[in-house]
Structure 1
């Protein structure tokens, strides 16, 4: 009995010449030229996983007639021509939904999603302007909304199980709405409009924090984040480090400070790095005036005895 069908890179315009056994539970149609969803796919009652990645589908509303609503766990619509997320009313078992790289303008259709089991939601690289219709998705552990047009972090206070939140390349000017997300392990706010790090203080489980390409001038609010292992504040406006900035980060392994305005590798920098002296294995400082020091490598390796990587160079 055939349970899987893999037509990846078959470049098919349709499935008219393809046998679709009713026993299928997984179908991969990645990198074809499909514009519509074959009715026989919609008729599969036991289908748990369907992948339409890299096709030409502009309208996926036919999914509302799927006979697999009570079985589907993984639905991938990445890299098509969708302007709307299809209605997923009746899909009770969905655990992963991928709609990135389309032309979707809002998340409102997610309000109809009946699954209480959705763990991963990807809607990156679309035209979404607001975080909406998410509050009922209490099982989410990963939310990816990078490369959209979002201006505010909102309507996710109930998502207390979130472990990963990806919001890079949006228009966010303030870190807000995270007070209840104490289980977050990773957050990305790269390439936004931040001028302050304030607002992360309650995310005490954070291990990775990505804030590059913003307008941040001062490290702040890090004292409660003692579990951090990776801190990326590259391409900001930081002119100085203070020992109080890093004093709680005794587990920090990677510190990215490249492309800021740190003036020199001197006693002040040495003192500021003291709390992470025996944990840091990687530091980026290139693109700062400090990196012009002729003794750049020697001074930093002396300051940081566990260092294994300086900028892109392994030691």
Structure 2
């Protein structure tokens, strides 16, 4: 705000205020109504938490996304801590998760794209209401301090430095688990995650699919960019609609015929030698449900006798196909 300009006037009957992209370096010229419930300060230039925010008693949603905050520990003094439902601190310079004692109503916590190294400070969050937790694109090395969040439905920890699937046993209601771009070598720790619908372990260090048998309700499975050599355990995933095993080392297509609800199959960039491998899948329920298939980058495609012959062979197997590789049919 330029020096000498009038303060931003806000009507006192306004419950939600959106100051997105207002180029604010601070809040010196902003006055907030005492009964404000929603505040969005996304994409500004704020370096610290202003007392004007902390004294608000009725705030239920607060977004400070895309600022240049490095220390948000002053949240421990917030007057709204017992009523805040959504806290978004994504895309700042935060190095440590702030103290969250007393945030008993918090349901969504967004901390992605920061510089956080540990989840242990989450132990201070003394509530079981949390449904969504996002700490992607940080430097977290282990899954810790999440066991108390027994109502958690979505957990996003992609693009960190996690090596093992541990600390998830109490999250029996978890529906989405996103762990792409980590350092995980084995699928484990999913024994109690029977409610899981979506699982992403792409761009890790997997060589096997073993360990998925405890997730019978799984609908979407993303395992691309690993070192998986064969498809296995698919018979225990009858609800699967999306299977992505692209960019692996799979040489044979097995078990896909058991997936009676499969619509999307990504097998591109593997080591599949023959289109005949798809015959079993085409002859089962999958033959009628599959609408998207990616096979490019396999030796079988080069051996098919050209583009037209390749398309004809695949469409004969899967008559309801709507997309083959990057081409809409």
Same fold (TM over 0.5): yes
Distance between the aligned counterparts of 1:213 and 1:121, measured in 2? Answer: 25
- Deviation of the 1:271 alpha carbon: 2.6
The residue aligned with 2:94 is: 82
Distance between the aligned counterparts of 2:233 and 2:280, measured in 1? Answer: 19
How many pairs were matched up? 312
The one of 306, 314, 321 equivalent to 1:300 is 314
Report the 3-state secondary structure (helix = DSSP H, G, I; strand = E; otherwise coil) of the residue aligned with 2:35.
Answer: coil
The residue aligned with 1:191 is: 203
The residue aligned with 1:289 is: 299
The one of 140, 151, 173 equivalent to 2:163 is 151
Distance between the aligned counterparts of 2:111 and 2:325, measured in 1? Answer: 35
Report the 3-state secondary structure (helix = DSSP H, G, I; strand = E; otherwise coil) of the residue aligned with 1:175.
Answer: coil
The one of 9, 22, 29 equivalent to 2:21 is 9
- Deviation of the 1:102 alpha carbon: 0.2
The residue aligned with 2:290 is: 280
Question: TM-score scaled by structure 2?
Answer: 0.93
Question: TM-score scaled by structure 1?
Answer: 0.98
Distance between the aligned counterparts of 2:283 and 2:211, measured in 1? Answer: 25
Unaligned runs of 5+ in 1: none
Report the 3-state secondary structure (helix = DSSP H, G, I; strand = E; otherwise coil) of the residue aligned with 2:312.
Answer: helix
The residue aligned with 1:254 is: 264
The one of 56, 69, 72 equivalent to 2:68 is 56
The residue aligned with 1:28 is: 40
Structure 1 segments (4+ residues) deviating >4 Å: none
Unaligned runs of 5+ in 2: 1-12
Q: What are the residue-to-residue correspondences of 1:132-281 with 2, within 5 Å?
A: 132-242=144-254, 245-266=255-276, 268-275=277-284, 276-281=286-291
Whether the 8 Å CA contact 2:257–2:280 is kept in 1: the answer is: no
Distance between the aligned counterparts of 1:311 and 1:179, measured in 2? Answer: 34
Distance between the aligned counterparts of 1:65 and 1:99, measured in 2? Answer: 19
- Deviation of the 1:273 alpha carbon: 3.7
The residue aligned with 1:93 is: 105
- Deviation of the 1:2 alpha carbon: 1.7
Whether the 8 Å CA contact 1:73–1:96 is kept in 2: the answer is: yes
Distance between the aligned counterparts of 2:256 and 2:299, measured in 1? Answer: 21
Report the 3-state secondary structure (helix = DSSP H, G, I; strand = E; otherwise coil) of the residue aligned with 1:148.
Answer: coil
Whether the 8 Å CA contact 1:246–1:273 is kept in 2: the answer is: no
